[in-house]
Amino acid sequence: MNYEIAKEPINVQSVIDKVVQRDAGAITTFIGTVREMTKGKKTLYLIYDAYEPMAVKKLEQIGTEIQERWNGAQVAITHRVGRLDITDIAVVIAVSTPHRNDAYEANRYAIERIKEIVPIWKKEHWEDGQEWIGNQLETVPYPTGKPEEKDLNE
C-alpha cells in the first residue's frame, strides 16, 4: 500500500515509514499544502476529486518509473481527496535512496509526473466563485488524446 488516495488527513510520518531502508542515506519528502494567496487571489478552500482506481495505478506507475531510473529507490505517495482548508496537506511524496542527489531528483520527478498523468483534479473556491483548475487553464491540450512521455531529468 505504498500508493494511496486518502479521504482523511495524511500522516506524514506514516508515509515516510514506508520508505525506510538500511541502504538509504537520504529520504526526501514533498508535502503539497493548500496556499492561501495565488496571484493576488485569496483561496478559501479546495475540493480534490480523483478517478480513484486509475489514480492509484498511475501513482504505482510513477513509483515503477522512479525505481527504473534511480537505483535502489523506495517510493511512497499518498494524495488526499475531499475538502482541504488552507495549510492542509494535499499530497505527500517520500523517496529514499542510497545517495542524496537521487532522493531530491526522484522526488521532484514524482511531483511533476503527478501533475501530468494522475487523474486528480482540484476545484478552487474563492470569495467570488469557484472553478475546476485545469493544467494552467488548459493551455496544454493533448493532440493525441493522451500525455506524451517526457524526460524530466535534464
Binding residues (CB under 8 A) for a copy of itself: these are: 12-13, 16, 20-38, 86-87, 96, 98, 100, 103-104, 107-108, 111
- Say if residues 1 and 78 touch (Cβ distance below 8 Å): no
Which of residues 48 and 70 has its CB atom nearest to other proteins in the complex?
A: 48
Q: How far apart are CA 135 and CA 94, in angstroms?
A: 24
Which of residues 50 and 91 has its CB atom nearest to a copy of itself in the complex?
A: 91
Taking CB under 8 A as the binding criterion, the range among 9-17, 34-42, 44-52, 62-70 that sits at the site for other proteins is 44-52
Place of cell 532522493: 103
Q: How far apart are CA 86 and CA 149, in angstroms?
A: 33
**H or E, element range at 54:** helix 52-69
Taking CB under 8 A as the binding criterion, the range among 6-14, 35-43, 101-109, 114-122 that sits at the site for other proteins is 114-122
Residue 132 engages other proteins in binding (rule: CB under 8 A) = yes
Beta bridge partners of 92: 31, 78
Pairing of strands 41-50, 82-85: antiparallel
Give residues in contact with other proteins (CB under 8 A).
32, 48-51, 53-55, 57, 79, 90-91, 100, 111, 114-123, 131-135, 138, 140-142, 144-147
